[in-house]
Structure 1
Amino acid sequence: MKYVIGIDLGTSAVKAILVNMKGTVIAEAAEAYPLIHEKAGYSEQKPEDWTDGTVAAIARLVNEAGVAAADIDGISFSGQMHGLVLLGEDGAPLRHAILWNDTRTTEQCRRITEELGPQLLRIAKNQALEGFTLPKLLWVQQNEPDLFARAAAFMLPKDYVRYRLTGHMATDYSDAAGTLLLDVTEKQWSTAIADAFGLPLSLFPPLLESSDCVGTLLPEMAGKTGLSPQTKVYAGGADNACGAIGAGILHPGTAMCSIGTSGVVLAYEENRCADYEGKVHFFNHGLTNAYYVMGVTLAAGYSLQWFKETFGHGLSFDELLNGIEDIPAGSGGLLFTPYLVGERTPHADAVIRGSFIGMDGSHTLQHFARAVLEGITFSLKESLEILRASGKEISAVISIGGGARNETWLQMQADIFGTEMVKLKSEQGPAMGAAMLAAYGAGWFPTLEVCADAFLMASERWKPDPNRNEMYEQLFDVYRQVYANTQSLNEGLLPFRR
């Protein structure tokens, strides 16, 4: 039996899975690493922590699975998008990586919008938002000019790890699309955008398809991981592109809801010229010459994590959510907005913050926990409604990530979205998408679609309850009013944030 390894470089941990030719996950391992928050709005990590965690996860995976190194045909990657890794001439990072959820770059986003105008949407297909890579480059250029002058290249998070494992520097189209520097439909770095901000193209890594072979493992890394130096390494993709592959979002009419630290509603897009006017993201898929559109909730799973750590008093997630199924839809008139770190879709706003509305003395911990889940789901519904308004027919949504692990939450998603929710038999999210790219790259299947047919299978389905759906539609109307009514309040509170 042959195997592949899928690696998902997340925000809080790296996950590695070992998958056989039937799509069965034989073993998995994860390694956590810290976030660095030096100031309000800053979010950074040490790139070497990613490398060390990835090497450790692979080594543990191989050791625990007990498979021969020669039987592992390849490795591929999924990774957190947008993060900026600046390398010097020696290939070492010049500073900590600035992550996707860092919001320090509002000034740079304004500059990009003013400088490029409508040209930005024509080329990059996306608005200038704090999470993207270009604003981060401009922030370093402006605030750390001496350091920026020493930069020889920039990389994205998973690409840096792959570079450390193979010695080959590159990125794939799906991750490059999240930089605001790629001409998305032409699939090349935009000289117009680079020139507008004095960025030499020598900084930009070579571009590859997600299933392209980048090379093999460096002998040192093969020794540390327990793999063969001949193990082939494939480019991989952005976490959302790999999540789409791992959920089978590979043809028109398919959509998924992924809830991790952030939350995503994503649908396949076949029209390279589709114009969403920047309301949602438009990115290159990990599937060659395909695209996807998505809306993002910045603090989806993070909102639940924050709530647990702040009010859960040491409870596990299962304990925290125990009993929420007994709380009626609407949480007794308690409403939560998940704007803990700002918001992305449909409100591109780094200043807005979250709120509980409607609290009274009758509300218990279970009411609050259910309200958090409902608020996260309402935020995701806003993205789904934009896709529907564009004419997309979405009859079912594949659920992956944390939102697929609780049956009450799955039913809630069905009721709020007004569509059937589908859970996969072996749900591994972006890590499975990375493994599928390795399997396809290694020649196991003629296409990714055939790979998906072999690897992915639905296990359970949840249909919306008409009565709860009607109640949630009414509550959704109230939810959509909260942003407008708290925006100016949050601007007034800005000077008091530390």
Structure 2
Amino acid sequence: MKYIIGIDAGTSNVKAVLFDVDGNEILVEVLENEPIYIGDTDVEQNMNILWEKVALCIKMIMENGPAKADDILGIGVTGQGEGIWLMDENGEPVQDAILWCDGRAADEVAKVTEDDPKLGEMIFKTTGTPPLTGTQLMLLKWMKNNRKEVLDKAKTMFFCKDWVRYKLTGTINGDMSDTGTSLMDAEKGEVAVDLLKALDLGEYVDLIAPVVISNKIVGNVLDRVAKDLGLNPGTPVVAGAIDVVAAAVGIGAVEDKDICVILGTTCANEIFMKKEDCEFGKEGTRLEKHAVGDLFVNLMPTMNGTPNIDWVLNEIALTKDFSKVDIMIKDVPAGSGGVIYHPYISAAGERAPFYHPHAKANFFGISANTKRADLVHAVYEGITLSIKDCLQGADRNSKIFIAGGGAKSSIWAQMISDVTGMEVVVSAGNEFGAKGVAMMVGLAVGEYESYTDAARRTCKSERIYRPRPDQNAIYEDIYTLYKGIRIACESLWTARADVMKTISKRTREN
């Protein structure tokens, strides 16, 4: 029997997943990741520790699963996107990676959005992505401004999955989906050299790894690595894709006008469209290259999705048992007794469907009658209203494919349908990012004829939810209030950040 290994190096966990060629998850090995949180805004990652965890997961797959080395058709890698992962000429990290959720480049973003808006517009129109704190482009600018001596030691600038793939194969590559986030001219499909020069970053163009399509075999597992992990030397490895694109493929969202929502660390809301229908730099869009043909993704990834759930379970629900939480909130009516929650819990503020580096989460409308269940329910509703916020302009006749840990909750899935007014399809399976890159391997080695064929063979629906008109009508009113509060808070978030800086300064002085 033949198998494929998919690797997903996420923010919270790293995983290796063994799939058969029909897309069934045979074995999953998981290790908790170790992001490093520094102060109020900085988030980093030790690159070597991440690789060691990935390697151990692969080794456990080969030791604990049914597959022998000869059975493995190939390996695909996905991982957290954006951020900046720098490697020197000896193949070693020059520093800890700065992650996508890091907020230190807020001043660099402000420079090109407020002080020089024409440059900000150039970034948006060229790449399809507006200037954001966690993009590699803005972090590259931050590195030049603040750590040039470290940056100048680098030979290659990677994304997470590219670092993992380098450690497997020794080859240096990027792919269209990851590199295209902020470093490529979306129209031309090539590195945006003129943009980098406009940002006074032209000297770093050579740091960008050669870019290929996601399903291209770009290397083979090194002999010494294969020996350590239990693989055959020469096992093929494909370029792979950024996690949100890989997961869309794994769900089966590979056609024009498909929509998917990935309920993970970031709540990734994705609408797929043909390149000819894209308007790069249009307000309300963030267009990135899909792995499939000429399709692009209008990507609206919030900074945090399920971390809001983790927080409310730890601090308010006082249980981590999701079945108990579902029982707790199942009878709470739409609107949570008048409590509205805004899910901007990330250290770096929010980036979709609006950008504000100082956005913070809040409850609105608590009264003496508010119960614990109301607060928990309000957090679920807040994330769901954020999803609706991100999907404004989508065709309501489309279906939403949902995946991620949150998709296991039937209450949440029905809530998403009620809030958006759209049919929601829960895809069978759990590890969709790893599955997506496994499908890319199958395509590369000739197991599947196309992405459509791969989706038809491997992707199945588990449950379907349809909107209830009475609930949808309630949520339309709640959404109007939700958005109004969020807009009203923008100046207050900035004021809060200023106050916190003052407090921090006084604390240091004392």
TM-score by length of 2: 0.94
Structure 1 residue aligned with 2:5 = 5
Please report how far the alpha carbon of residue 394 of structure 1 lies from its aligned counterpart in structure 2 after TM superposition: 4.0
| d(CA) in 2 for partners of 1:225, 1:320 | 40
Matching of residue 369 in structure 1 with residue 376 in structure 2? yes
Structure 1 residue aligned with 2:507 = none
Please report how far the alpha carbon of residue 314 of structure 1 lies from its aligned counterpart in structure 2 after TM superposition: 5.1
- Of the three residues 486, 490, 495, the one matched with 2:493 is 490
Please report how far the alpha carbon of residue 72 of structure 1 lies from its aligned counterpart in structure 2 after TM superposition: 0.3
Question: In the alignment, is the contact (CA less than 8 A) between 1:303 and 1:340 conserved in 2?
Answer: yes
Identical residues among aligned pairs (%): 28
Please report how far the alpha carbon of residue 429 of structure 1 lies from its aligned counterpart in structure 2 after TM superposition: 1.9
| d(CA) in 2 for partners of 1:278, 1:159 | 30
Structure 2 residue aligned with 1:195 = 197
Structure 1 residue aligned with 2:33 = 33
Structure 1 residue aligned with 2:471 = 468
Please report how far the alpha carbon of residue 116 of structure 1 lies from its aligned counterpart in structure 2 after TM superposition: 2.1
Structure 2 residue aligned with 1:61 = 61
Matching of residue 310 in structure 1 with residue 315 in structure 2? yes
Please report how far the alpha carbon of residue 395 of structure 1 lies from its aligned counterpart in structure 2 after TM superposition: 2.4
Please report how far the alpha carbon of residue 142 of structure 1 lies from its aligned counterpart in structure 2 after TM superposition: 0.8
Worse-superposed segment, 60-69 or 115-124 = 115-124
Matching of residue 99 in structure 1 with residue 99 in structure 2? yes
Structure 2 CA distance for partners of 1:117 and 1:323, relative to 1, 3 Å: closer
Task: Render the CA deviation track for 1:163-183: whole Å, top value 9, x for unaligned.
Answer: 0111001110001112x2111
Structure 2 residue aligned with 1:144 = 147
Structure 1 residue aligned with 2:508 = none
- Which structure 1 segments of 5+ residues have no match? none
Matching of residue 256 in structure 1 with residue 260 in structure 2? yes
Structure 2 residue aligned with 1:294 = 299
Q: SS at the partner of 2:76?
A: strand
Task: Render the CA deviation track for 1:20-76: whole Å, top value 9, x for unaligned.
Answer: 122211111111121111221101111112211111111111211132111101000
| d(CA) in 2 for partners of 1:91, 1:425 | 39
Q: SS at the partner of 2:337?
A: coil
Q: SS at the partner of 2:48?
A: helix
Question: In the alignment, is the contact (CA less than 8 A) between 1:321 and 1:370 conserved in 2?
Answer: no
- Which structure 2 segments of 5+ residues have no match? 505-510
- Of the three residues 182, 186, 190, the one matched with 1:184 is 186
Matching of residue 109 in structure 1 with residue 109 in structure 2? yes
Task: Render the CA deviation track for 1:430-485: whole Å, top value 9, x for unaligned.
Answer: 11111111111111011111010000111210111111111111111100011122
Task: Render the CA deviation track for 1:288-312: whole Å, top value 9, x for unaligned.
Answer: 3321112122121111112223334
Structure 2 CA distance for partners of 1:202 and 1:409, relative to 1, 3 Å: same
Question: In the alignment, is the contact (CA less than 8 A) between 1:37 and 1:44 conserved in 2?
Answer: yes
Structure 2 residue aligned with 1:244 = 248
The amino acid across from 2:334 in the alignment is: A
| d(CA) in 1 for partners of 2:363, 2:164 | 40
Worse-superposed segment, 276-285 or 165-174 = 276-285
Aligned pairs for 1:341-490 within 5 A: 341=346, 342-385=349-392, 387-388=393-394, 392=395, 394-490=397-493
| d(CA) in 2 for partners of 1:445, 1:104 | 43
Q: SS at the partner of 1:332?
A: helix
Give the alignment's Cα RMSD to 1 decimal.
Answer: 1.5
Question: In the alignment, is the contact (CA less than 8 A) between 2:403 and 2:432 conserved in 1?
Answer: yes
| d(CA) in 1 for partners of 2:489, 2:472 | 26
The amino acid across from 2:192 in the alignment is: S
Q: SS at the partner of 1:43?
A: strand
Q: SS at the partner of 2:172?
A: coil
Question: In the alignment, is the contact (CA less than 8 A) between 1:253 and 1:393 conserved in 2?
Answer: no
- Of the three residues 221, 224, 228, the one matched with 1:220 is 224
The amino acid across from 2:67 in the alignment is: V
Question: In the alignment, is the contact (CA less than 8 A) between 1:255 and 1:394 conserved in 2?
Answer: no
Question: In the alignment, is the contact (CA less than 8 A) between 2:176 and 2:291 conserved in 1?
Answer: yes
Q: SS at the partner of 2:232?
A: coil
| d(CA) in 2 for partners of 1:272, 1:103 | 33
Structure 1 residue aligned with 2:343 = 338
Please report how far the alpha carbon of residue 404 of structure 1 lies from its aligned counterpart in structure 2 after TM superposition: 0.9
Structure 2 residue aligned with 1:274 = 278
| d(CA) in 1 for partners of 2:379, 2:228 | 42
Question: In the alignment, is the contact (CA less than 8 A) between 2:18 and 2:26 conserved in 1?
Answer: yes
| d(CA) in 2 for partners of 1:404, 1:280 | 25
| d(CA) in 2 for partners of 1:350, 1:384 | 21
Please report how far the alpha carbon of residue 495 of structure 1 lies from its aligned counterpart in structure 2 after TM superposition: 3.2
Worse-superposed segment, 61-70 or 328-337 = 61-70
TM-score by length of 1: 0.96
Q: SS at the partner of 2:354?
A: coil
